[in-house]
């Protein structure tokens, strides 16, 4: 597959890479999180363990011991109140690698944000034909092109370094995953920091579960070891699975596997504008601020104080 097959990646960049809400402008003073307010915030959360339903997606999580799940309300509070993302009512929950909520303050831990996209049944007919090397080159070029506008708005430049994990689709389980290595820095190169964005898509009858994992890029080995477990724990309910698709009655999505990896906006403008780029680096930056370490990055990337 050649790069000509990805003409809409410029549109992807316009909506995802240029979304300014994921970090505060460089000249905005950074607020700090006090230990007492952080503790109060964590104590107010209600983690669930064992078998957990995700009603908004008609899916079930069979959590292994040591994992927990925050429901939609708690997950949205963490994203906006603790990690300074813009509010997003589409978030259905968050998977954590611990039952201790202090994991949310651990800059070495990952978290998986769960959403559901009801755009219809995504055909996997193109899965075996995709050239991910060509796709990466186009994504890198689109990301670079948008940095001038980002700089004008006072936001750090983004460099898509490459695949941290090349896309892989399992045609038996109908699950797709990949990881991107991203680097954020000011125009003069100051305040550079890396982040790992690990994506999972679980295909279903009427859409797909989107699981976005965020972690420091140096934790790839741990994330790579844990994500297969997350994949195994996640499944649609009976009647809503990929194999339950009925071509005569069900909606067919207007895009395939390639568009999911490219970002989805190549298929429908705005589809991933809310979560696509917003979560790439926020977790590391905000947690660093809460822990009162990494002062240089904390100054560059502002965050608000938890109420």
Q: Tell me, what's the pLDDT at 245?
A: 98
Count how many Cα atoms sit within 13 Å of the Cα of residue 141 in the half-sphere of its side chain. Answer: 13
Distances (CA, A) of 242 to 58, 124, 128, 284: 13, 10, 18, 34
Name the residue among 212, 253, 190, 260 with its Cα closest to residue 93: 212
In angstroms, the CA 162 to CA 303 distance is: 27
Instruction: State yes or no: pLDDT of 295 exceeds 70.
Output: no
Highest mean predicted confidence (pLDDT) among 26-30, 91-95, 218-222: 91-95
Pair of tokens at residue 295: 């002062």
pLDDT (tens digit, 9 = 90+) per residue, 259-276?
888 864 333 222 223 233
Residues facing 212 on adjacent strands: 113, 199
The answer to whether the pTM exceeds 0.85 is no
C-alpha distance across the termini of the chain, in Å: 50
Instruction: State yes or no: pLDDT of 227 exceeds 60.
Output: yes
127-154: burial string, b at 16+ Cβ within 10 Å, e else: beebebeebbebbeebbeebbeebeeee
Q: Tell me, what's the pLDDT at 186?
A: 67
Name the residue among 125, 147, 132 with its Cα closest to residue 262: 132
Q: Tell me, what's the pLDDT at 188?
A: 64
Helical spans, DSSP H, in 234-304 = 257-262, 282-290, 295-300
Q: Tell me, what's the pLDDT at 121?
A: 97
In angstroms, the CA 143 to CA 12 distance is: 9
Highest mean predicted confidence (pLDDT) among 123-132, 212-221, 282-291: 123-132
Q: Report yes or no: 150 and 17 within 8 Å, Cβ to Cβ.
A: yes
Highest mean predicted confidence (pLDDT) among 83-87, 143-147, 209-213: 209-213
Q: Which single residue is written with the structure tokens 């370490």?
A: 293
pLDDT (tens digit, 9 = 90+) per residue, 40-68?
999 999 999 999 999 899 999 999 999 99
Q: Binning pLDDT at 50, 70 and 90, where does residue 5 land?
A: very low
Q: Tell me, what's the pLDDT at 290?
A: 23
Average pLDDT over residues 4-20: 29
Q: Binning pLDDT at 50, 70 and 90, where does residue 301 land?
A: very low
Average pLDDT over residues 290-300: 24
pLDDT (tens digit, 9 = 90+) per residue, 130-164?
999 999 998 888 888 888 887 787 777 888 889 98
Q: Tell me, what's the pLDDT at 190?
A: 63
Q: Binning pLDDT at 50, 70 and 90, where does residue 35 land?
A: low
Average pLDDT over residues 184-211: 82
Distances (CA, A) of 285 to 10, 190, 214: 27, 15, 11
Distances (CA, A) of 248 to 166, 224, 242, 252, 257: 34, 39, 15, 10, 21
Q: Report yes or no: 190 and 282 within 8 Å, Cβ to Cβ.
A: no
Helical spans, DSSP H, in the chain = 9-12, 35-43, 72-77, 132-152, 220-233, 257-262, 282-290, 295-300
Left (φ > 0), alpha (ψ -120 to 50) or beta: where does 66 sit?
Answer: left
């Amino acid at each position: 597959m050649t790069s000509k097959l990805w003409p809409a990646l410029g549109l992807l960049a316009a909506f995802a890479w240029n979304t300014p809400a994921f970090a505060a402008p460089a000249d905005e003073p950074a607020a700090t999180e006090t230990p007492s307010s952080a503790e109060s915030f964590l104590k107010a959360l209600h983690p669930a363990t064992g078998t957990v339903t995700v009603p908004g997606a008609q899916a079930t999580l069979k959590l292994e011991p040591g994992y927990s799940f925050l429901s939609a309300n708690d997950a949205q509070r963490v994203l906006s109140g603790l990690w300074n993302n813009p509010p997003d009512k589409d978030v259905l929950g968050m998977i954590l690698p611990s039952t201790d909520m202090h994991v949310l303050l651990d800059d070495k831990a990952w978290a998986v944000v769960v959403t559901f996209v009801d755009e219809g049944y995504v055909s996997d007919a193109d899965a075996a034909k995709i050239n991910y090397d060509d796709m990466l080159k186009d994504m890198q070029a689109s990301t670079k092109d948008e940095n001038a506008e980002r700089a004008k708005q006072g936001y750090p430049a983004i460099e898509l370094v490459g695949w941290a994990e090349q896309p892989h689709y399992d045609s038996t389980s109908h699950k797709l995953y990949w990881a991107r290595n991203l680097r954020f820095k000011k125009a003069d190169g100051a305040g550079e920091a890396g982040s790992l964005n690990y994506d999972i898509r679980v295909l279903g009858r009427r859409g797909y579960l989107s699981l976005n994992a965020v972690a420091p890029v140096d934790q790839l080995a741990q994330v790579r070891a844990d994500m297969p477990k997350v994949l195994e724990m996640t499944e649609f309910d009976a009647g809503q699975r990929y194999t339950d698709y009925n071509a005569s009655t069900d909606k067919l999505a207007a895009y395939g596997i390639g568009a999911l990896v490219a970002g989805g906006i190549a298929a429908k403008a705005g589809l991933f504008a809310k979560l696509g780029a917003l979560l790439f680096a926020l977790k590391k930056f905000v947690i660093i601020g809460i822990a009162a370490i990494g002062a240089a990055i904390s100054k560059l990337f502002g965050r608000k104080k938890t109420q």
